[in-house]
Amino acid sequence: MPELPETETIARDLDAMVCGAVIVGVEVRKADVLREADASGFAAALHGLTIAHVWRRAKLIVLDMRPTAAVATAPPATEPPWRVVVQPRFTGGMVVDDGSLSEADRAYVAVTLHLHDGRAVHYRDVRRLGTVALMSPERFTKYSTALGAEPLDPRLGDAEFSGLVRGSRQAIKVFLMDQKRLAGVGNIYANEALWLAGIDPSREARTLSEQESGTLREQLCAVLTASIAARGTSFRDYRDARGERGSFVEQLAAYGRAGEPCRACGRRLVGTHAIDGRSTVFCSHCQR
């Protein structure tokens, strides 16, 4: 499931590849992924618009649209008329197709934006549990306000992070993954950050000292940043916007390594589903 680094990678790729492109056609093959618009409304809203900017919020890929200027020198409108908000969830992803994409990669395409230069941007999703929503800027602001803080936002300092942590009775691992408190962190990076910080995933969040929560924030930011640099972690379905796999899987220290030796002390890592029903892997010696 794409988390913050994977979503960030897709958004950055798309921004570099399709910013300024004009949408000349919209094809909805699987309308069940659409939210807040039906197939004809979605197509009509986007036809003729220019992709102004692609960015990430939480685990969402956001495509800001702007009116296409009739004259190249006309100033672009300041407010995007629409935002396309993509939530890949388990198996969704976005890929740019310049015509060289394989038939296998084209399978499972649910929505396609055809661009003026002949390329296409596909939303593909094997299990179709992800969504593609059409939102006005006002609607998006309301939606975004309900999501938690961005862990890599410089405004979220030690004091703010510690305030969130110490106000929660949840297990610290559950807290890290709670999208209403902290946005973008899922099972992979919660496991990794807790191993790096030496904190037992089952501990009640509010029992962390200021120092422990400072270390946790630092390690969380470090692992997210390192994974973005490696273009994310690929398990099964995740691909970046160029259709390639991320390589951070090679650097994982906890996630997916139950029963393997701890990279710090050599003891076997413990795997459990007892905390939140998800796979938790930790070292009972190094994490307290």
Binding site for Zn ion (CB under 5 A): 262, 264-265, 283, 285-286
CA distance to 91, 95, 118, 121, 229, per residue, from 232 (Å): 15, 15, 28, 20, 8
- Count the alpha carbons within 13 Å of 63 in the hemisphere toward its beta carbon: 28
Of the pair 98, 260, the CB lying nearest Zn ion is at: 260
- Supply the minimum distance, in Å, between the C-beta of residue 274 and Zn ion: 19
Of the pair 226, 264, the CB lying nearest Zn ion is at: 264
244/52 Cα distance (integer angstroms): 24
234/232 Cα distance (integer angstroms): 7
Q: Which residues pair with 270 in a beta bridge?
A: 282
- Supply the minimum distance, in Å, between the C-beta of residue 147 and Zn ion: 34
- Supply the minimum distance, in Å, between the C-beta of residue 260 and Zn ion: 11
Catalytic residue among 56, 59, 66, 181: 59
87/244 Cα distance (integer angstroms): 19
Catalytic residue among 2, 5, 80, 201: 2
> Any catalytic annotation for residue 3?
yes
Catalytic residue among 3, 6, 8, 212: 3
Of the pair 245, 285, the CB lying nearest Zn ion is at: 285
> Any catalytic annotation for residue 59?
yes
* Angle separating helix axes 187-197 and 210-229, nearest 10 degrees: 130
- Supply the minimum distance, in Å, between the C-beta of residue 199 and Zn ion: 12
Q: How many CB atoms lie within 10 A of CB 255?
A: 21
Q: Which residues are catalytic?
A: 2-3, 59, 278
